[in-house]
C-alpha cells in the first residue's frame, strides 16, 4: 500500500499530494474570489502542502494564500521560494542569490504570510553569479535565527545537490518531472537515497499525441482521466515524490486530489514507465 504522507526533513509530515499556487490569479475582482475559493477548498479536502514563491506576482501569491487561510489550520505547510528578483538592467526578473536579496525576500515572505517562521524555504534557482556557499550560507543563518525551519532547492543537478549538502541539510528538491519528462531521474534517485522530498513541478505532462494515447489507454482501463493517471503514476513512482499540481478551478482541484485513491496494476505501471520521450 502506497503511503499518502511523507515526513519532510524526517519530521514535518504532509500529505504527499499537494497544491501548487502559481496559476492562481491575484488581481482584485471575481478572479481573485475564485482563487480564494480554490485555496480554501484544497485545505478543506485535506491538502497540507501548498507551494508558492516570491516570483509569483512579486509576493502577491503569498499574500493571496494568507488572505485565504490565515489563521492557518494545524498541520498546514506553505512553502515558498526566494532567489529571483527584479534586478535586471530594465527591472526584469533574473536569478539573484545575493545574501541581501535572499534575506530581504525571506523577511517579506514572513510578513506577507503572517508567520514568524517559514517551515520549508526553497532556493528558487542557484544564481551562477553568486557563490553557492554565500547563497546557502545566508539561508543557514536565517535558519539559525529561527526564521526558516528547513532548506530546499529547485532545479538542481545531482552534482549541485551533493555540493549543497556539504553546506546545509537539504530537506527538499523541486525539479521538473512527469511521466513523459524524466530528465531529472538521477536527481530523484539521489533524493530517494537520502530521504529528501522530491516535489515535481509541471507534474502533468503535455506530451506528443502518441504518448498521450498511452496515458489515455490506461485512463480508459482505470475509469479515470489522463491527468489523474499522470498523478497516480507519480505517487507510485517513488515514496519521496510529493506532486504539487496547480489549477485555478475547483473542479480540476477535486479531479487532481482524487488521483490519490487510484491504484495502478503492475502492467499499467510498466506501460506508463515505457512512455518516456527521448530528450
Provide the annotated active-site residues: 56
What secondary structure does DSSP assign to 123-145, as a single string? ESS--TTS-HHHHHHHHHHHHHT
Nearest residue to 5 via CA among 256, 242, 188: 242
CB 32 within 8 A of CB 26: yes
- Distance, in Å, from the CA atom of 252 to the CA atom of 269, rounded to the nearest integer, reads 23
Helical residues (DSSP H) of the chain, grouped into ranges: 30-44, 60-69, 99-113, 132-144, 158-165, 185-194, 209-222, 226-237, 250-258, 266-273
Neighbours of 57 (CB within 10 A): 18
Lookup result for grid cell 503569498: 62
Axis-axis angle for helices 250-258, 30-44 (nearest 10): 20
Q: How far apart are CA 132 and CA 153, in angstroms?
A: 11
Amino acid at each position: 500500500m502506497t503511503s499518502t504522507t511523507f515526513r519532510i526533513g524526517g519530521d514535518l509530515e504532509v500529505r504527499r499530494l499537494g497544491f501548487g499556487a502559481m496559476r492562481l490569479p491575484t488581481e482584485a475582482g471575481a478572479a481573485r474570489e475564485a482563487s480564494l475559493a480554490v485555496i480554501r477548498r484544497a485545505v478543506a479536502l485535506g491538502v497540507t502542502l501548498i507551494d508558492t514563491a516570491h516570483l509569483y506576482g512579486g509576493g502577491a501569491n503569498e499574500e493571496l494564500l494568507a488572505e485565504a487561510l490565515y489563521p492557518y489550520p494545524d498541520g498546514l505547510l506553505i512553502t515558498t521560494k526566494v532567489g529571483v528578483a527584479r534586478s535586471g538592467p530594465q527591472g526584469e526578473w533574473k536569478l539573484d542569490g545575493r545574501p541581501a536579496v535572499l534575506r530581504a525576500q525571506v523577511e517579506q515572505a514572513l510578513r506577507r504570510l503572517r508567520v514568524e517562521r517559514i517551515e520549508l524555504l526553497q532556493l528558487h534557482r542557484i544564481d551562477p553569479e553568486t557563490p553557492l556557499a554565500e547563497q546557502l550560507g545566508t539561508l543557514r543563518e536565517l535558519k539559525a535565527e529561527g526564521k526558516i525551519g528547513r532548506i530546499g532547492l529547485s532545479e538542481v543537478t545531482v552534482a549541485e545537490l551533493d555540493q549543497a549538502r556539504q553546506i546545509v541539510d537539504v530537506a527538499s528538491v523541486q525539479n521538473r518531472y512527469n511521466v513523459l519528462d524524466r530528465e531529472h531521474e538521477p536527481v530523484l534517485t539521489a533524493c530517494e537515497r537520502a530521504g529528501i522530498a522530491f516535489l515535481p513541478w509541471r507534474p502533468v505532462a503535455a506530451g506528443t499525441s502518441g504518448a498521450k494515447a498511452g496515458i489515455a489507454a490506461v485512463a480508459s482501463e482505470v475509469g479515470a482521466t489522463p491527468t489523474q493517471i499522470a498523478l497516480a503514476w507519480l505517487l507510485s513512482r517513488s515514496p519521496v515524490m510529493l506532486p504539487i499540481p496547480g489549477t485555478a478551478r475547483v473542479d480540476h482541484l477535486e479531479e487532481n486530489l482524487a488521483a490519490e485513491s487510484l491504484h495502478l496494476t503492475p502492467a499499467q505501471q510498466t506501460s506508463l514507465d515505457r512512455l518516456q520521450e527521448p530528450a
